[in-house]
Amino acid sequence: MTQRDGALDLLKWLALVSMVVDHLRYVGYSVDILYVPGRLAFPWFCLAMAANLSRTRSVSRDTQWRYLGWLLLFSAISEIPYRMFIPDPDTFNVLPTLALGLLVARGWQQPLLQSRLLATAAVVLAALFAERLMFGFFGVLLPLMMLLVIRRPWYFSLLPGLVCLAANQWEVLYHSARFGNLAASLGIAVCLIAPWLGLVLLRHARHLKPPPMRRWAYALYPLHFLLLLLIRKLAS
């Protein structure tokens, strides 16, 4: 059996913590600076996906469909809690973006007609519905960018860093940074270095043994919205 990668589990936990920290901005307090550590969450989830794909080239098709199935199932489950917590959302929750990103990355990795057709369909959907997807078209490409550089020297991480910045509405961040907004300036920097930081962690923290994050962790996504919603109600 494949030995469990402690660094990968740690990356997933840190991505989850970063996401929760980011969403604390919607609890009701003026804490815009939490936007900065929150920029780590999505690229680290994409990197975790790429790490799983790079370690499982020979997994069965059933396993691959199961991975996609869990993403799609919790995409649907999470949408109501997401809309209850986020005020006036203009996108779906993040899981549809990750599901499309998985299809794109898997289509590049597997030279099978079915995989390539699904990847092409995912790219077309991402282009057509970019405004409805969290992190948009570039967010769908980010898992593939992570997969392309995961075994390469550290300086290749600049490529997914640029894609990560593009996925985070770089024009809004750039204009805000020009007017001296600290959160926007730091957010740009974090977007650019997040893939590199994640790769450093994966390569140098394998000796650590955090609690393994298994399939039950999918449920943490909708549950954290409900928990933060409860906190907001109690604080109001």
Q: How many other C-beta atoms can be found within 10 angstroms of the C-beta atom of residue 162?
A: 16
pLDDT band with cut points at 50, 70 and 90 for residue 172? confident
Position 56 scores a pLDDT of 67
Q: How many other C-beta atoms can be found within 10 angstroms of the C-beta atom of residue 45?
A: 25
* Contacts by residues 14-22 (CB-CB < 8 Å, ≥ 24 positions apart): 14/40, 14/44, 14/201, 15/40, 15/41, 15/42, 15/44, 15/45, 15/48, 16/41, 16/213, 16/217, 16/220, 18/44, 19/45, 19/224, 20/224, 20/228
Least confident piece of the model among 56-65, 193-202, 216-225: 56-65
Give residue-wise pLDDT tens across range 112-145.
899 999 999 999 999 999 999 999 999 999 999 9
Q: Is the pLDDT of residue 58 over 60?
A: no
Give residue-wise pLDDT tens across range 217-226.
999 999 999 9
Position 235 scores a pLDDT of 83
Position 66 scores a pLDDT of 87
- Is 224:197 a contact under the CB 8 Å cutoff? no
The CA radius of gyration of the chain, in Å to the nearest whole number, is 17
pLDDT band with cut points at 50, 70 and 90 for residue 1? very low
pLDDT band with cut points at 50, 70 and 90 for residue 60? low
Q: Is the pLDDT of residue 61 over 70?
A: no
Give residue-wise pLDDT tens across range 4-27.
789 999 999 999 999 999 999 999
The rounded percent of the chain whose pLDDT value lies above 90 is 83
